[in-house]
């Protein structure tokens, strides 16, 4: 039960801190769930994040799986694990949704306010900095993991850079590239 309350606290706060989209809270989420509460391992976090990229819909729905694994980790039954998943999903989506619902009512009052533009211009680089920190938070296990061999890390970094380059060069559904990454991983990484 205490675990559920902790999950609720952490993800409600993350919900309201997700400035400029869900990826902005990735670094904080990784820190809270892996280092502070140890609900998931760093490997689990990277994998759960990437599973989120393969599912349709908002890819941050993967937070539910963190709740599921956290309950698992605390030795709860599967039924409780599903409850934890639901708690996390509601905690992550409800607060920001309530805020949006409320503010969209009064938004028009600020339409002509010049500070709105300032807020957007000022926050944009912060969001980008947070997203870069998100790349680092996931990449420090998924791309370059000191526990893996040099050969292994070369392949994971190569796959990541290849995906980045291909997406810049071609208009292609990213989910297909993620799947292709899985095939490459299966082929080259299983022996290492």
Nearer to other proteins, 5 or 99 (CB): 99
| In the complex, least distance from residue 73 CB atom to other proteins, rounded to whole angstroms | 11
Nearer to other proteins, 4 or 25 (CB): 25
Query: Which residue in this structure is represented by tokens 């990826």?
Result: 23
| In the complex, least distance from residue 115 CB atom to other proteins, rounded to whole angstroms | 6
| In the complex, least distance from residue 2 CB atom to other proteins, rounded to whole angstroms | 21
* Rg (alpha carbons) of the chain, rounded to whole number: 19
- B/e letters for 129-143, b = 16+ CB within 10 Å, e = fewer, are ebbebbbebbeebbb
Nearer to other proteins, 5 or 126 (CB): 126
| In the complex, least distance from residue 27 CB atom to other proteins, rounded to whole angstroms | 5
Helix residue ranges per DSSP H, 18-114: 26-30, 42-54, 63-73, 78-106
Q: Which DSSP string corresponds to 108-169?
A: GGGTT-THHHHHHHHHHHHHHHHHHHHHHHHHHHHT--TTS-HHHHHHHHHHHHHHHHHHHH
Nearer to other proteins, 69 or 80 (CB): 69
């Amino acid at each position: 039960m205490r675990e559920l309350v902790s999950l609720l606290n952490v993800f409600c706060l993350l919900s309201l801190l997700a400035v400029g989209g869900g990826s902005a809270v990735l670094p904080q989420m990784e820190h809270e769930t892996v280092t502070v509460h140890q609900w998931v391992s760093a490997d689990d976090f990277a994998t759960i994040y990437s599973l989120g990229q393969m599912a349709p819909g908002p890819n941050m729905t993967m937070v539910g799986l963190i709740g599921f694994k956290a309950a698992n980790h605390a030795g709860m039954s599967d039924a409780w694990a599903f409850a934890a998943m639901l708690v996390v999903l509601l905690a992550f989506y409800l607060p920001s949704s309530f805020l949006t619902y409320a503010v969209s009512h009064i938004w028009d009052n600020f339409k002509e306010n010049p500070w709105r533009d300032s807020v957007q211009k000022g926050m944009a680089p912060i969001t980008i900095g947070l997203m870069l920190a998100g790349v680092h938070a996931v990449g420090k296990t998924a791309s370059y993991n000191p526990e893996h061999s040099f050969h292994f890390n070369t392949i994971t970094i190569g796959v990541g850079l290849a995906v980045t380059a291909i997406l810049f060069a071609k208009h292609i559904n990213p989910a297909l590239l993620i799947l292709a990454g899985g095939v490459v991983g299966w082929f080259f990484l299983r022996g290492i």
